[in-house]
Chain A
Amino acid sequence: MRRDRGRKPKKKICSFCVDKVEAVDYKQYEKLKRFVTERGKVLPRRISGNCAGHQRQLTKAIKKARIMALLPFSME
């Protein structure tokens, strides 16, 4: 997430596509943390730049990671 916010980003790149990730793994929760806000919510696609397929996998992976207390549930 090196892209600066506020400004219109030049390009949206799905980092999972870049890394050629076939399936998002919930065990790699350190990586998943990048896609979660401070409040524990999943970053929307328009901010993360993920493609729809990887975003769907990511959401599932985050849910599993939450169940296993690897990531917090959203705080509210």
Chain B
Amino acid sequence: MEKYEIMLIISPELEKEEHEEVLGGLTSEIEKGNGSVDIILDWRRRRLAYEINKLQEGHYYLVYFTAQGSIIPELEHYFKVTDSIMRYMIVRATEQEFAAAIEKAEREAAKAREESEKKAAEEIANTETEVEETAEVESDAVQESSTTVEVEADEAQDDLAEEITKTEETEEMLKDEPVNEDK
């Protein structure tokens, strides 16, 4: 069993439920291959450095999973047939990266919970009615706006995450070699 990290860009035009569907589909693909998803981080909506499919923004997710390497072609297939996935990158991940991701998710969740409780308390103070409903809405909003889930992999990282795969399209782009090395 190996550990992997997938970065996905899902179309921001889709509803949240549709994102869940895509991620759920990926999860079941992984499980079908006897793997397991360790954690999924919402890396949120970001501005793209260049347009993809006429879109300026994309919704990023990081999926950490454990599986056998033979599963990778299956996942690539899933990504290719899923139109809402704008781009993906699968890399090997280390135990430390996994631990950092899980810790990050827990921290985020705790923070979101804390903030939504605070908001809820404020709501109670402000309005006497429909407290429950408002609190729920607010807690959603908090989740959306809380700080970016930036995975600080340099906190703990052992070996270089190997690039496993890339889309055909991007393979072409890779030929665009940067000028870098000293003569």
Q: Give the size range of B's interface with the partner.
A: 35 or more
Tell which of B44-52, B76-84, B117-125 binds the partner: B44-52
A62 with B87: in contact, given A57-B160, A72-B50 (CB under 8 Å)?
no
Asked if B136 CB lies within 8 Å of chain A CBs, one says no
- 5 A–B contacts from the bound complex (CB under 8 Å): A23-B161, A25-B153, A45-B181, A67-B89, A69-B48
A70 to B150, CA, bound (A): 13
Question: Which residue of chain B has the shortest Cβ distance to A31 in the bound complex?
Answer: B154
Chain A residues close to B by CB (< 8 Å): 19, 21-28, 41-46, 55, 57, 59-60, 62-64, 66-74
Q: Which residues of chain B from 138 to 167 have any CB-CB distance to chain A below 8 Å in the complex?
A: 150-154, 157-161, 163, 166-167
Asked if B173 CB lies within 8 Å of chain A CBs, one says yes
A41 to B179, CA, bound (A): 7
Contact pattern, B 54-90, Cβ under 8 Å of A = 1, otherwise 0: 0000101010000000000000000000000001010
Which of chain A's residues have a CB closer than 8 A to the CB of B180? 41-45, 55, 59
**Which single member of B52, B58, B62, B163 contacts A60 (CB below 8 Å)?**
B163
Asked if B170 CB lies within 8 Å of chain A CBs, one says yes
Question: Which residue of chain B has the shortest Cβ distance to A72 in the bound complex?
Answer: B49
Binding site secondary structure of chain A = loop
A21 to B96, CA, bound (A): 13
Say yes or no: A44 contacts B182, CB within 8 Å.
Answer: yes
Say yes or no: B89 contacts A64, CB within 8 Å.
Answer: yes
A73 with B154: in contact, given A22-B159, A25-B161 (CB under 8 Å)?
no
Question: Which residue of chain A has the shortest Cβ distance to B159 in the bound complex?
Answer: A23
Say yes or no: A28 contacts B91, CB within 8 Å.
Answer: no
Say yes or no: B179 contacts A67, CB within 8 Å.
Answer: no
A21 with B154: in contact, given A44-B179, A69-B48 (CB under 8 Å)?
yes
A68 to B48, CA, bound (A): 8
A42 to B177, CA, bound (A): 9
A46 to B170, CA, bound (A): 29
